[in-house]
Structure 1
Amino acid sequence: MKSKGISLFISNRILQHLAFWVLSIYIIGSYFSISNELKTIDFIYSLFFHIPLLLLVYVNLRYHIPKFLLKQRYIIYLLLSIFNLATAFFLHQVLFDVIIPILPTDFYMVSFTDASVLIAIFIIYLVLTTLLKLSKSWYELQQLEKERLSLELNSLKMQINPHFLFNSLNSMYSLARKKSDKAPDAILRLSNLMRYMIYEVSEEVPISKEIDAIQDYLDLQKLRLEEDANITFTVEGATEHQMIAPLLFFPIIENSFKHGLKGDKGTNFVRIMIKNTNSELTFHVTNNKGTTDHSEEGKYGGIGLANVKKRLQLIYGDSAHMEVNDAKDSFDVSIKIKWND
């Protein structure tokens, strides 16, 4: 029940604002109280004191921040903030010097706050609420990015290249027709790969599972390739317990098979290496290019590599680095991910 109330408070913007202002009224009333005990007049004074504060804060939150600060129009935002502060100060003076004295009330209230103290309070509220707004915007942005990453991962799960599946099934059919002993193993590897991609991946997976999936993918690719194609996959270091974002390297590996392996007989290769240490993980793929069709010229980077780079930035930030080397006869991609202590 307690956690449900906390969740309601976190998700309800009105409750958050109400709680902030109730606390603020109490603090201001206590700060300006003329005695050690809070009295009704202290709260009434605090309520009037908050009228220009409310104007100051909500003009800033509703208009100045979204229309100027978040759009990086900093000079205009600064000038408007100064004007906003001046307006709040003027309203405070009018309230306590003009309006309150003519109100039919038994209480006598005057503003005994020095101008410098009053401006300082207004600036504190302006800066504090701006920081709260920016932090909330940042949090909401992170949540959106997290949801986008989740959608992207679900998309990757279903993104097994149709040509790859078609070629794999054709190769299996050919093996079955020949009654080859390799057919059951090929079917098992395809089943394992699809199970992993569709059901087993989550936000993070052990590197060892990702390696097993890569190995299944490579073995299936070999079924359709010439025997002289040189495909190697080496793994160094312990990978059982370290976790990684799933399907991170698959677009790069798929890219190497899609655009590579097009040279003369005996020159085709794809070399993949994963090295893991206590401080970082290194992933490297290189493939020959050979003859490129006109329709593929300039596409070695591809959307897949751009997506991988963006995922790296979103998930690992500055801890990850991706380097692409598009040479005349080969294409190399290297990724380094530093593990946080």
Structure 2
Amino acid sequence: MSRPKIKPDCTELIAVHGGACAKYDPSLSEDCRYVCGTGSVEKALTDFERIEKFNCGFGSHLTIDQEVECEASYMSSKNMSFGAVGAMSNVFHPSRVARHLAHSNWWKQRRLLHPLILVGRGAEKYAVKNDFPTCNPEELISNAAKDSYEKYLHRMLHPYDTHDTVGAISINTNTMEAESGTSSGGIVLKHSGRLGHSCVYGSGTWSERRQYEEPFDQFSERTISICSTGHGESLVKADFCRGIATRVLDDEEGIMYSEIIREFIREKMEPSARFGGIALIVDKFKERMSLEFLIFHNCRYLPAAVRGRNNQIRVFESKFDPDNCTDDKFVIESFNM
């Protein structure tokens, strides 16, 4: 009798979220499950950008001038590479352009300053130059986006009652390197040319690996990958993702990561601002490793999914009722992976 094969641990942890939502929709979490299982951060974001119901790529919210202006960002803990694009109206997958910008050596080879962010026509020209699929701006406008525009323009509803920025994060448990990214159409009825938190270094996403010296010439490692969604201007003011990551990486007292995030939100976020986010944190010392997934927000619904070391995908339907909550006007959930 042959022995059963032991399935090796999956080394690439990945988590995604479908953006801050104003109401519960179970189909969004199932879409997150699908997107989470398709591969890397880049692949997950391009899948989101193809699904009309999410606010990114095709189906993005319209500006006050009835146009689509997409934005996206990408970050890697390796060399702290970062790239972002904004106010793009002719590219199917802005997240791919952001990742390409982060890793491009074009400027280094010419001894030029490597830009972190490209916007508008400059970003669109960069996409064309590097052979990314482009389109007419009208091809990114969905019927649902048109309906949303009309509804919010004439009924004067709150623009944050719609879907928001989507995100994906990952950590490789072998190398302890991380990647993270976001993609967004921005809020409905936004002013043309407005850039949200996705484009801002440290606000929409952050991935960082740190090594710590231990006794007897030993070393431990900690890596965090995090992305956010919600009220962009407030997230920018708080330096949201980098601020949380720095506190997590600076902690030497063993404080629970959920408490670190809780204190940051209490101190830095405006009470009226809507926000959300997910994070993966991995601690490693010799053969011991701990993995934690956190989801935190103050929106009514934040769909998410995680693929852990067993290669199984877990779906999270995180809900929050602002009319029936604790002293904290937000929720934080933590899961060991």
Classify the TM-score, shorter chain. under 0.3
Structure whose alpha-carbon radius of gyration is higher: 1
Which structure is higher in strand share? 2
Which structure is higher in helix share? 1
Structure ranking higher on relative contact order (CA contacts 8 Å, 6+ apart) = 2
